[in-house]
């Protein structure tokens, strides 16, 4: 399911992916970048082919279409040549070894994640400082001996295999986990009896799964996954052939929809939700009574254009929704009489706070709100009566509260830019909290200033932005500054801690995160103001952030870099083509860039509700107007740019970065390098061994230090 508390790796809530690239190295300021001649930085020549499509009466040139074929010998040879060119330039920068050493000190630390309780056992993942991948453990009670259950470090020689926990049965006797190779979204689902720690023979084949849930008797699982025809819900009985899992529901849904599957905590109801697009502009909710053999599937809602997130407690269904409430509200449905006319609102929309998530723990409803891009957790009784809150003393981000409906303990994490991620155990009865675990990073966060500013966008809309820098910063207009943004899929960029960002600030740099329209920072209205025909608002917001940083003397255009990944890769791609004069350097990671053809590849039809499709004549007009690949102009002086992608990205096709790198290299009128950093094993969904994370961070961030005039301490 989305926001799976057992997942070893962060994955987004359904968009193209959020890459908050916080692996920034340590630097000190110098007067100028290492000098390399134009001949040394010139890119390899890429063959151009005359390919022209006529779409809605407009001729569309696509000279690098041949690079769309990822497996062709010509493409493979081209990737090899590009990587050799990139490596030769990055290795010429003398600070890389020191940067990699310091990154190792910062990132090779013990990391533990939020626990989940089952029948007195705590299950959690932990990666020791000397390990590449996190290991799944359990222990009896809070003080019991640690018992390793799954160690992906022994599953592959190169440590690129990782594990995602999909579900743990309510009695703790069964474990479902996905084996992920490289950074693919697809996993192969395995099962384990926790007492014997022996895997079952049953294996669900490699696919994109969105919910694997054990039945109450542990004899079978229901699961949702994407098939060629669209999302489907299936049922597998242990001992049967997994390839013949029976189809339960989903025949009317297409590849542009997704599905989530869950079973209520008491095992009574099967619950599945179909999402119309990755930002869930519309959702359909169905239930099935698992205690009655042959029971019908009952639609709860399938005729309202709004988002619904369902939660079942006993015979009550709670619906988190933005239906007639852009900031979110909570409805209560009696499953014995679920007619829409009987629904009851129990938590009303808050005009100043955006509902982020609901948690049902210890007989209470925990509502995680976002107010001016900072977390607030309020507590309610089952009937919606207010019952207190969890207070935070700093501007930061709290995860959703996790735990069981019947137990009086809950867990949540909290972090801010100057506060490392800490896991808390919350006693619901006593309303007290204790620290369960935290990251121990060898830096002093008290030296940093965290500031939230609001700046005007092109149309006058006030946009919030976080700034992180060392206390006492002199505004002389010359600080190296890294601006990050995302702006899409209703996702919010909230305060989070990174030792590497902290070190950037500690050594005189400024890190900025702009909360652009298209995100979820101010609810569905904010999201809709940056999607479809209003997508240009997002780019205007980002460009205005750069202009504000310069106008307010934080930096200048020679010391301003931008970074974004996935949908954020589209963002920086649009920014560098629309305002190449504003930025000195760009990191464009796992990006969407050919927006005229994006919907034709991998799972991209799932994003059409967010962007539109060039197949639609009206949508084509605005898509073609901003599509980065179609707005590169020969002879323009572009900033230094590094495109980052990999073969195992099965979410955003790597062809976008390949084609754009070739086109920008051909068109560039400046002597700034245009590079491709291409990993033949990495993908979109994490899973990299820590040594590879450090190596890639040294390459990518070293590129920025080189261009902004920095050297490692």
Strands 585-589 and 560-565: parallel
Distance, in Å, from the CA atom of 35 to the CA atom of 107, rounded to the nearest integer, reads 30
Cβ partners under 8 Å of residue 415, min gap 6: 396, 397, 421, 422, 495, 496, 497
> For this structure, is 684 an active site residue?
yes
Instruction: Give the pair of three-digit tokens for residue 182.
Output: 């490289």
Nearest to 481 by CA among 514, 454, 457: 514
Instruction: Give the pair of three-digit tokens for residue 675.
Output: 């590079």
Sheet of strand 419-427: strand arrangement:
397-398, 409-416, 419-427, 432-438
- CA–centroid distance for 171 within its chain: 31
Length of the chain: 713
Instruction: State the catalytic residue, choosing from 225, 256, 684, 685.
Output: 684
Distance, in Å, from the CA atom of 483 to the CA atom of 37, rounded to the nearest integer, reads 27
Nearest to 367 by CA among 353, 358, 375, 325: 358
- CA–centroid distance for 560 within its chain: 24
CB-based burial of residue 62 (10 Å sphere; 0-12 exposed, 13-18 middle, 19+ buried)?
A: buried
Cβ partners under 8 Å of residue 169, min gap 6: 118, 175, 214, 218
Distance, in Å, from the CA atom of 250 to the CA atom of 269, rounded to the nearest integer, reads 17
Strands 481-484 and 510-514: parallel
Torsion, CA 662, CA 667, CA 671, CA 676, rounded to 10: -20
Distance, in Å, from the CA atom of 502 to the CA atom of 489, rounded to the nearest integer, reads 28
Judge whether 353 and 334 are in contact, CB under 8 Å. no
Half-sphere exposure of 690 (CA within 13 A, CB side): 19
Distance, in Å, from the CA atom of 461 to the CA atom of 514, rounded to the nearest integer, reads 13
CA angle in degrees (0–180, nearest 5) for 466-565-604: 130
Q: Which three-class secondary structure state does DSSP give residue 96?
A: helix
Residue with tokens 């006993």: 314
DSSP state of 249: E
Residue with tokens 């968009």: 15
DSSP state of 391: -
Q: Bridge-partner residues for 121, per DSSP?
A: 118, 140
Instruction: Give the pair of three-digit tokens for residue 634.
Output: 């020969």
Q: What is the DSSP string of 35-63?
A: P--HHHHPPPP------EEEETTEEEE-T
Nearest to 167 by CA among 142, 194, 147, 146: 194
Produce one character per residue of 568-606: b if its CB has 16 or more CB atoms within 10 Å, e if not: bbbbbbbbbbbbbebbbbbbbbbbbbbbbbbbebbbbbb
Q: What is the DSSP string of 117-158?
A: EETTEEEEEEE-TT-SS-EEEEEETTTSPPEEEE-GGGS-TT
Judge whether 393 and 379 are in contact, CB under 8 Å. no
> For this structure, is 566 an active site residue?
yes
Instruction: State the catalytic residue, choosing from 566, 613, 627, 685.
Output: 566
Q: What is the DSSP string of 263-312?
A: E-TTS-EEEEEEEETTTTSEEEEEEEETTSTTPPEEEEESS-SS-EEEEE
Distance, in Å, from the CA atom of 302 to the CA atom of 284, rounded to the nearest integer, reads 4
Distance, in Å, from the CA atom of 436 to the CA atom of 289, rounded to the nearest integer, reads 37
Looking at the annotation, which residues are catalytic? Answer: 566, 684
């Amino acid at each position: 399911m989305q926001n799976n508390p057992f997942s070893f790796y962060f994955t987004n809530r359904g968009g193209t992916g959020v890459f908050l690239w916080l692996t920034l190295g340590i630097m000190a300021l110098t007067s100028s970048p290492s000098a390399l001649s134009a001949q040394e930085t010139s890119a390899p020549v890429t063959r151009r082919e005359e390919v022209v499509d006529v779409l809605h009466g407009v001729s569309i040139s696509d000279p690098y279409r041949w690079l769309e074929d990822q497996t062709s010998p010509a493409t493979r040879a081209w990737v090899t040549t590009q990587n050799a060119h990139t490596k030769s330039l990055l290795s010429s920068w003398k600070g890389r070894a020191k940067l990699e050493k310091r990154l190792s000190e910062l990132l090779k630390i013990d990391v533990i994640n939020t626990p989940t309780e089952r029948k007195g056992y705590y299950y959690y993942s932990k990666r020791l400082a000397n390990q590449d991948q996190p290991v799944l453990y359990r222990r009896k009670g809070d003080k019991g001996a640690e018992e390793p259950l799954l160690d992906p470090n022994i599953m592959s020689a190169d440590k690129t295999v990782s594990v995602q926990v999909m579900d743990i049965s309510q009695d703790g006797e069964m474990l479902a986990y996905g084996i992920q190779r490289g950074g693919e979204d697809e996993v192969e689902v395995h099962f384990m009896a926790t007492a014997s720690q022996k895997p079952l023979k049953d294996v669900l084949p490699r696919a994109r799964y969105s919910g694997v849930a054990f039945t109450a008797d542990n004899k079978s699982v229901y699961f949702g996954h994407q098939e060629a025809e669209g999302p489907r819900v299936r049922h597998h009985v242990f001992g049967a052939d997994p390839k013949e899992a029976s189809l339960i529901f989903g025949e009317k849904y297409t590849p542009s929809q997704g599905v989530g599957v869950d079973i209520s905590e008491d095992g009574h109801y099967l619950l599945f939700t179909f999402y119309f697009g990755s930002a869930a502009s519309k959702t359909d909710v169905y239930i099935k009574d698992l205690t009655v053999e042959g029971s019908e599937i009952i639609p709860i809602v399938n005729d309202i254009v709004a988002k619904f997130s369902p939660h079942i407690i006993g015979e009550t269904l709670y619906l988190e929704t933005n239906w007639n409430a852009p900031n979110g509200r909570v409805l209560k449905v009696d499953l014995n009489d679920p007619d829409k006319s009987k629904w009851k609102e129990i938590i009303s929309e808050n005009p100043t706070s955006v509902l982020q998530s609901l948690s049902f723990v210890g007989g209470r409803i925990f509502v995680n709100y976002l107010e001016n891009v900072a977390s607030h957790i309020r507590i309610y009784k089952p009937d919606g009566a207010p019952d207190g809150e969890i207070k935070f003393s700093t501007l930061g981000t709290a995860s959703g509260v996790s735990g069981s409906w019947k137990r009086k303990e809950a867990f949540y994490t909290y972090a801010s830019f100057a506060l490392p991620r800490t896991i808390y155990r919350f006693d619901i009865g006593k309303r007290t909290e204790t620290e369960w675990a935290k990251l121990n990073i060898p830096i002093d966060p008290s030296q940093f200033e965290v500031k939230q500013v609001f700046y005007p966008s092109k149309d006058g809309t006030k946009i919030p932005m976080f700034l992180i820098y060392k206390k006492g910063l002199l505004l002389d207009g010359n600080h190296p500054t890294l601006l990050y943004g995302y702006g899409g899929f209703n996702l919010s960029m909230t305060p989070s801690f990174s030792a590497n960002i902290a070190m950037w600030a500690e050594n005189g740099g400024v890190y900025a995160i702009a909360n652009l329209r298209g995100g979820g920072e101010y609810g569905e209205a904010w999201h809709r103001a940056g999607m479809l025909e209003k997508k240009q608002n997002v780019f205007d917001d980002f460009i205005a952030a750069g202009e504000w940083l310069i106008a307010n003397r934080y930096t200048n255009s020679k010391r301003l870099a931008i970074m974004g990944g996935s949908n954020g890769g589209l963002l920086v791609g649009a920014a560098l083509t629309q305002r190449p004069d504003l930025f000195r350097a760009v990191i464009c990671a796992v990006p969407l860039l050919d927006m005229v053809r994006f919907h034709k590849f991998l799972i991209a039809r799932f994003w059409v509700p967010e962007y539109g499709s060039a197949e639609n004549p009206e949508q084509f007009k605005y898509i073609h107007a901003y599509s980065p690949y179609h707005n590169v102009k020969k002879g323009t002086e572009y900033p230094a740019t590094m495109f980052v992608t990999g073969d195992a990205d099965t979410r955003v096709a790597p062809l976008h970065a390949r084609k754009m790198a070739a086109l920008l290299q051909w068109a560039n009128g400046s002597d700034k390098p245009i590079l491709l950093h291409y990993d033949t094993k990495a993908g979109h969904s994490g899973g990299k061994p820590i040594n590879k994370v450090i190596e890639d961070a040294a390459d990518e961030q070293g590129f920025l230090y080189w261009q902004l005039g920095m050297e490692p301490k």
